Amino acid sequence: MSSLPVDRSVRASHLAYRVCPLCEATCGLELTISDGAVSGVRGDRDDVFSKGFICPKGAAFDRLDNDPDRLRRPMVRDGRRWRETGWDEAFGIVAAGLGAVVAAHGRQSVGIYLGNPNVHTLAGGLYAGGLARALGSPNIFSASTVDQMPKHVSCGLMFGDPLAIPVPDLNRTAFLLILGANPLESNGSLATAADWPGRLKALRARGGRLVVVDPRTTRTAAMADQHLAIRPGTDSYLLAALANEIISSDLVALGDLADRVSGLEELPGLLEGFTAEVAGRVCGIPASTVAALARDLVAAPTAAVYGRIGTSTTQYGTIASWLVDVLNVLTGNLDRAGGAMFPLAPHRRPGTGSGRGFLLGRWSSRVRGCPEVKGELPAAVMAEEMSTPGHGQIRAMITVAGNPVLSTPDGGALDRALSGLELMVAVDPYLNETTRRAHVILPPPPPSRSAHHDLAFPDLAIHNTARFSPASLPLRDGDLDEATILARLTLIALGEPDAAPRLVDDRVIAQTLGDAVRDPRSPVYQRDPAELIGLLHGSNTAEQRLDMLLRLGAYGDGFGAGDDDGDGPEDASGTGHGGLSLQSLVEAPHGIDLGPLQPRIPEILKTPSGLIELAPPQIRQDLERLRAGIDARRDGLVLIGRRHLRSNNSWMHNLGVLNSGSNTCTLQMHPDTAAELGITDGADARVTSRSGEVTVPVEVTDGIRAGVVSLPHGWGHRLPGTRGSVAAARPGVNTNLLTDPLAMDPLSGTSVLNAIPVRVQPAPS
């Protein structure tokens, strides 16, 4: 193995390019480096994906990177006192504590929670899954079950692969139907696209049409051709009615998918009764509007249906996610330019067109019996798994880059449960509302001091690219890179605390290359693994792992595989973009453009049938629950969430420029609702749910449907013992004191975070 020439020098002032790790849009940043720190940021105009776009969070990258409240050294808690310590002592305490818990209670007594920022670092992408598996426990949790798991489940059932998620082909579509998403504020989710504002404007400028379904008049809804202010939690009824309308009007047009689907003949029966009239009544949208929308969708030259958080974090989240892609199929828009397409990430290879399919419920949670989904249990059961005595009770917990006390249901119960653990270890740069309960905190360095490559988002990107960002700055004395932290924890979990961290990578590399040389479809078939290992580049073994993935991937150089077809070295993608390696990305600081999305059916399918399963049995069964809900009472006040452009994760509230002005934690409500409740703008209201209550200032706005109130998430920085001076000065309230841990979409285990029944009254003065 050899090293790449990564620039680790500290000059007076120079520029460095890196991909922003702060949200899914993955914009390219141009950093100014002065005096050993990031001193300025702007969008990288030459970035092949974002072309200079940047948002206020990315523009604050320097201040987030330099936040004085970030922890610099491992922290150990003795009672209520924290003290800094060295890395060896910290890992020693972890190894002893974890070993004692496992010896006394078994591996199932350890749990792990992986927060959302894990998917925004190279180390998180490479090691977090391995660490979870190394624990050998069923108690694996992540942010996915408060966010996106319904989409994984519906895609797993339909396409055989929970990671095969179609994304709207934003650059080419003529009609975009967005439900429950506000990409002008969130910058997109499960659809990676820098500059949503520019792309949606371009859609309309080329004569395309944008329809937004949302209870709020979000910034995205405000720019739409049509905005349907739906009743929260009812998107499945609207989507089912659209599909039913298309089928019953004989408007199904599968196009190239005609021979690729199974279960089409079952849809009329499954959707019977979900009419435009029913949707009109349930969703609060005129039936004629629903029927017209179905016709518009069919008539558009190309169209894509895209649903996000408002559709997935409801009691019918998986059904809604399934219906989104049923509509894309029925209108012939799945897997075609301008429709909903499957990206091909640089580290992936095209598939074989069939597989074993997607399994659910391979194990269940101990207390409530919630089924496993995609290798994890619902985050909503974490607290009860810690606090309920008995065999298998969680007694030790590892959190990696997460603040679940603020981001998962019934944060108060979780906070109490965490306080009773025998051991809690947090990999986190902040002493926050969750990590204050840890016994040991292991802080990774600021993002500028780590190399970066997104492993998750190229699977979701609306255009294929490849980018790599070397570390922009060297580690400081006393820093330990995140890869080494996670590798050492993995070895502790495996019972090898004294092994060298590189052993984790060496094993993965040996295993992956060993498999590849035995695979006739691999570009390295029948080659010598030892020779291939010697060809790997990278400044450390984590980067060498990445080099291996890129070179084996769809656009990879195949470790020098032949150029038989004249399109460059190995090119499994069929796009003519071959020859990718870590070296080639280092030499292209603004990234490499791998072209627009290409049709991928049938090779992407991993269903046993090799077909798109339009009527999976689990969905068929769950539709009865949807049908039973048609006549449910929907006249009460309900709470929904909302995003703000300057906020994403809770730690972003610890920066003045992001935690100020209009970025406030208020309870939005319509003037009619406010009048009915006797509440005025700016006054405090008490909000009560089945789970808890908060008192929060009211913001009266006509940009929300009457009968609906809205709170942003990630706030509630009032708890003692944290270290976030700016966040504590403008704390807001924790909306997850109101969310109900018992309310979830049963197929995906995902919490209901939208349409929560609440009572609102003026707060006592």
Binding site for ligand SF4 (CB under 6 A): 20, 22-23, 25-27, 54-55, 57-58, 187, 194
| DSSP string for 550-578 | HHHSTTB-TTT---TTSSSS--TTSSS--
C-beta closer to ligand SF4: residue 58 or 232: 58
What's the closest the beta carbon of residue 57 comes to ligand SF4, in angstroms?
Answer: 4
Distance CA 333, CA 554 (A): 24
| Cβ–Cβ < 8 Å for 401, 441 | no
For ligand SF4, give the closer residue by CB, 22 or 487: 22
Supply φ then ψ for residue 412, to 5 degrees.
-65, -45
| Minimum CB–partner distance for residue 55 and ligand SF4 (Å) | 3
Q: How far apart are alpha carbons 238 and 293 in whole angstroms?
A: 10
Select 26 or 668, whichever has its Cβ closest to ligand SF4.
26
- Mark residue 682 as left, alpha or beta (left: phi above 0; alpha: psi -120 to 50; beta: remaining): left
What type of residue sits at position 43?
Answer: G
Residues 6+ apart with CB under 8 A from 87: 74, 442, 480
Beta carbon of residue 457, minimum distance to ligand SF4 (angstroms, whole number): 9
CB of 735 to ligand SF4, least distance (A): 21
Q: How far is the CB of 65 from ligand SF4 (least distance, A)?
A: 13
Q: In angstroms, give the least distance from the CB of 589 to ligand SF4.
A: 17
Degrees (nearest 5) of the Cα angle 228, 163, 108? 110
For ligand SF4, which is the closer residue by CB, 25 or 131?
25
Q: Which is nearer to ligand SF4, 57 or 227 (CB)?
A: 57
Task: Tell me the C-alpha to C-alpha distance, in Å, between residue 656 and each of 446, 659, 660, 728.
Answer: 18, 5, 6, 11
**Is-contact 192 50, C-beta < 8 A?**
no
Minimum CB separation from ligand SF4 for residue 198, in Å? 12
**Residue 329: CB minimum distance to ligand SF4, A:** 30
Query: Two tokens at 294?
Result: 């179905």
Strand 226-228 to 209-213 pairing: parallel
CB of residue 115 to ligand SF4, shortest distance in Å: 16
Which residue of the chain is nearest ligand SF4 when measured via CB?
Answer: 58
What distance in Å separates the CA atoms of residue 517 and residue 512, rounded to the nearest whole number? 9
CB neighbours of 417 closer than 8 A, spacing ≥ 6? 382, 383, 384, 386, 387
DSSP 403: -
| Residues paired with residue 114 on neighbouring β-strands, in sequence order | 142, 400
Least distance between ligand SF4 and beta carbon 645 (Å) = 8
CB of 712 to ligand SF4, least distance (A): 16
The two most distant CA atoms of the chain are separated, in Å, by 79
Q: Of the two residues 173 and 187, which places its CB atom closer to ligand SF4 in the complex?
A: 187
Round to the nearest angstrom and report the end-to-end CA distance of the chain. 69
Of 137 and 649, nearer to ligand SF4 (C-beta) is 649
Per DSSP, helices labelled H in 272-400 are: 276-283, 287-299, 309-312, 317-330, 382-387
Cβ proximity to ligand SF4: between 59 and 297 the closer is 59
Instruction: Tell me how far, at minimum, the Cβ of 13 lies from ligand SF4, in Å.
Output: 22
- The β-bridge relationship of strands 463-466 and 440-442 is unpaired
Closest to ligand SF4 by CB, 52 vs 371, is: 52
Sort 356 into a burial class: Cβ within 10 Å, 0-12 / 13-18 / 19+. exposed
Indicate the residue among 20 and 246 with the shorter CB distance to ligand SF4. 20
The residue (of 58 and 162) whose beta carbon lies closer to ligand SF4 is 58
CB atoms within 10 A of CB 376: 20
Q: Choose between 23 and 303: whose C-beta lies nearer to ligand SF4.
A: 23
Q: Which is nearer to ligand SF4, 55 or 711 (CB)?
A: 55
Q: Is residue 602 reached through a cis peptide bond, with omega within 30 degrees of 0 on the bond before it?
A: yes
Our CB check for ligand SF4 shows the closer of 187 and 318 to be: 187
Minimum CB–partner distance for residue 541 and ligand SF4 (Å): 27
Q: Are strands 140-142 and 110-114 parallel, antiparallel or unpaired?
A: parallel
Nearest 5°: CA angle at 342, between 256 and 229?
95
For residue 482, give Cα distances in angstroms to 162, 334, 347, 427, 717.
27, 39, 21, 9, 26
Least distance from C-beta 58 to ligand SF4, angstroms?
A: 2
Helix (H) or strand (E) holding 213: strand 209-213
Taking the complex as a whole, the smallest distance from the CB of residue 473 to ligand SF4 amounts, in Å, to: 18
Q: Give the span between the Cα atoms of 26 and 19, in whole angstroms.
A: 6
Burial of 720 (0-12, 13-18, 19+ CB in 10 A): exposed
What gap in Å lies between CA 716 and CA 711, rounded to an integer?
11
From the CB of 170, what's the least distance to ligand SF4, in Å? 14
Q: Residue 35: helix, strand or coil by DSSP?
A: coil
Instruction: Choose between 254 and 645: whose C-beta lies nearer to ligand SF4.
Output: 645
Secondary structure of residue 345 in the 3-state scheme: coil
Between CA 406 and CA 615 the distance in angstroms is: 37
Q: Which is nearer to ligand SF4, 186 or 710 (CB)?
A: 186
The residue among 20 and 405 lying less far from ligand SF4, judged by its C-beta, is: 20
145 residue type, one letter: T
Phi, psi of 615 (to 5 degrees): -135, 65
Q: Tell the smallest beta-carbon distance from residue 72 to ligand SF4 (Å).
A: 24
Question: Considering beta carbons, is residue 64 or 753 the nearer one to ligand SF4?
Answer: 64
CB of 539 to ligand SF4, least distance (A): 24
Alpha-carbon span 234 to 634, nearest angstrom: 10
